[in-house]
A and B are shown apart, each in its own frame.
Chain A
Amino acid sequence: MECVVQGIIETQHVEALEILLQGLCGVQRERLRVHELCLKSGPSLGVVPSEVRLLCDLDQPDPTWTVKHVGGAMRGPGADQISVMVRTLIESKVSKNALRMFYALGYKLDHELLKVGFAFHFQRTANISVSVSSVNKMPKVHAIDEAVPVTPGMQIVDVTAPATPANYSEVAAAVSSFCEFLAPLVHLSKPFISTGVVPTAAAAAASLMSDGGGTAL
């Protein structure tokens, strides 16, 4: 299970966001370079159509692979009152030929993306991860060296935190509370409910860049 919010930010303000995050998180930023392959079951396979994501972390000396299954989001009046999305998530590290295995099992490549940016992982009531990345598409299958941004000039901000059925309320509150600190630069909301860029982001960014982040927003 995880709590997740997303937002978009103009690339010109990413540096300011990084300064802000550095100050808030108190940890070293990590580089992010992840090849994400979205696989879908073939036409007759499965009780229902299914989807699984393979992520290859290209930032390691030896690329490492993870399989991710993202389930449905929590729904109902309780979910509507929470400002973050709570959804099931199961992950597993896998060895490098997992893609070949899924192809052999009847899964097909639906689409693939290359995410390039940075991330912060820190503890604030919950284990929170913030990533800022450009999302890139490939002109040819697996051609990561030829990837180009899907939305030039814009980057995606993801804030996620693992949760359990017992603690998701506390985790959601922690994520919400953290997101308020980022509000001057980026609006974060449930995925697929975009609120656009923050109109005053330029001013906030200028403030951050001019004094290196020392001024409280």
Chain B
Amino acid sequence: MPVKWVLHWQPNQGSTVSSQILNEATQCVESINGVKEGRWKATLNYYKPLLRDQTNQAEFPRDFLGISLADQPNKYYFIIRSQRIVVEADSSIQLIMERLQSYKSKVALYFEGFQYQLGDFRLRVGKVVPTHSENVRGIVMEVEYLPISSMEKSRKVMEEFLEIWHEALSKRSLPGKFVNIDLNFGEFGLGDNYTPQHTAVRYALVMAHMIATVQAVRG
């Protein structure tokens, strides 16, 4: 499958994320001749253990995520980032988790927005919102390079595209920037050939960074 980078909006010190920034980013894609293809949506769940004895809480992972991706409607992905675990499953795994009654989704977030075709690239820009709220918690951008599935081989062209993107966006003088986080996929048992599991891990990392940013602002 094509290589994909997942960027997230990092606001400048003292500023916050908002729908206005999403609108600006979307307009920027259209200004560089991105052709709108439609909407996209992904869902992420934070799971917490249900414990009969709360004193043992530290034994259980605090970063157990589940995510359904727009590209893979019949699949579901689990990530425990601290232990470098990523698992792909059928969507029915969510029903299994409900029946087990050992973990429950405590926070659910949507990633949703518009999808664009731009030459050999597919772009998705979207906001991060809790499922029962319109409160924008973040902005993400997927950049997919369709001809190549090797991460190494696609690195240069992705970096060049991002330079173009950053330059186009900088004309709008927004209080922040889109950031790509590099990570060692090998630690998760993933190779150079790109898969949806890579995307799931990227989203987990994006969420960790977004939470860290929010906590830093609050701190």
Interface residues of A (CB under 8 A from B): 41-48, 50, 52, 67, 69, 71, 88, 90-95, 97-98, 100-101, 104-107
Contact = CB atoms under 8 A, between A and B. Distances in A.
Interface residues of B, number: 31
The 7 closest A-B pairs by CB, nearest first: A46-B102, A44-B53, A92-B90, A92-B93, A50-B100, A47-B101, A95-B88
A75 B101 CA distance: 22
Interface string B86-110: 1111111101100111110000000
Given A52-B100, A105-B103, A100 B85 contact: yes
A106 B102 contact: yes
Contacts of B60: 45, 105-106
A101 B99 contact: no
Interface string B26-65: 0000000000000000000000011111001001110010
Given A52-B100, A105-B61, A95 B197 contact: yes
Nearest to B57: A44
B111 interface: no
Q: Is the interface of B mostly helix, strand, loop or mixed?
A: mixed
A93 B60 CA distance: 24
Interface in B90-146: 90-93, 95-96, 99-103
Contacts of A101: 78, 80, 85, 87
A201 B217 CA distance: 77
B14 interface: no
B99 A46 contact: no
Contacts, number: 92
Contacts of A44: 51-53, 56
Contacts of B197: 95
Given A52-B100, A90-B92, 14 more contacts: A41-B102, A46-B50, A46-B101, A47-B52, A48-B101, A50-B99, A50-B102, A52-B96, A69-B96, A91-B92, A94-B90, A94-B93, A101-B85, A105-B64
Contacts of A106: 49, 59-60, 102
B53 A94 contact: no
A104 B80 contact: yes
Contact of A97 (B49, B96, B189): B189
B18 interface: no
29 contacts: A44-B52, A45-B60, A46-B52, A47-B52, A48-B101, A50-B99, A52-B96, A67-B89, A67-B93, A71-B99, A90-B95, A91-B92, A92-B89, A92-B90, A92-B96, A94-B87, A94-B93, A95-B88, A95-B89, A97-B85, A97-B189, A101-B85, A101-B87, A104-B61, A104-B83, A105-B49, A105-B60, A106-B49, A106-B102
